[in-house]
Amino acid sequence: MTRTIVTQPLTPEAFAPYGQVITTTGAELRLINQGMTQRFHDLAKIELGGNNFRPLISLFRGKPYTLPLSLTMVERHPLGSQAFFPLSDRPYLSIVAPDDDGIPGEPLSFLVPPGTGVNIAMNTWHGVLTPLGDSEADFLVVDRGGDGDNLEEHHFTTPWTVVAGN
């Protein structure tokens, strides 16, 4: 049995059930530092839950993927959101899935253009970091640290195949 996910372009509206798109387009602009710096304000809703939590800022370096790819697992973080912003100039995939009574429903795959980030909402099923191209890619990641188990994984019995869209 083949199950296929066709990658689609990322839009804030299509991604809204899963989190926010981090982009300067449409953002509130504030001039700071005596007018010498533009601040694109409040681009994502950072969620932190549980006990003794604190925000983490990390750098992730991901090995590249090519399409088609086999999606065998998704994960979620029940105690916090997870924001990814690329530091490399290449696209990546954001794979997300709705919750279906505690397990992931049918996944969606979004092609995220260079210079755009995503913030995956707390407790949202999502794929692993999936940079595309021919070399490793770096990402600034903001997520939750602290007490509690903030990782749940789901392994699909039948993998999904992720293919490029038009």
CA distances from 73 to 46, 118, 157, 159 (A): 24, 19, 9, 8
For the record, the structure tokens of 107 come out as 């996944």
The CA dihedral of 148, 56, 15, 64, to the nearest 10 degrees, is: -110
The reported pLDDT for the residue numbered 146 is 94
Confidence of residue 2 (pLDDT cuts 50, 70, 90): confident
- Decide: 92 and 132 in contact? Cβ < 8 Å: yes
Cβ(107)–Cβ(96) below 8 Å = yes
DSSP 3-state of 153: strand
Euclidean distance between CA atoms 28 and 43, whole angstroms? 8
In contact, 163 and 65? CB cutoff 8 Å: no
Q: What is the pLDDT of residues 46-75, one digit of tens each?
A: 999 999 999 999 999 999 999 999 999 999
pLDDT for 82: 98
Q: pTM here? A: 0.93
Mean pLDDT of 18-40: 94
What domains does the chain contain, in order, with CATH numbers?
Answer: 3-163 (2.60.120.480)
Compute the distance between CA of residue 106 and CA of residue 100 in angstroms, rounded to an integer.
9
Answer for the pair 112, 91: CB distance below 8 angstroms, yes or no.
yes
- Record the tokens describing residue 54, joined without a space: 């604190």
Residues of the chain above pLDDT 70, percent: 99
Span 130-148, pLDDT tens digits: 999 999 999 999 999 999 9
Confidence band of 27 (pLDDT split at 50, 70, 90): very high
Distance separating alpha carbons of residues 14 and 74, to the nearest angstrom: 19
For the record, the structure tokens of 28 come out as 């509130």
**Distance from the Cα of residue 150 to its chain's centroid:** 16
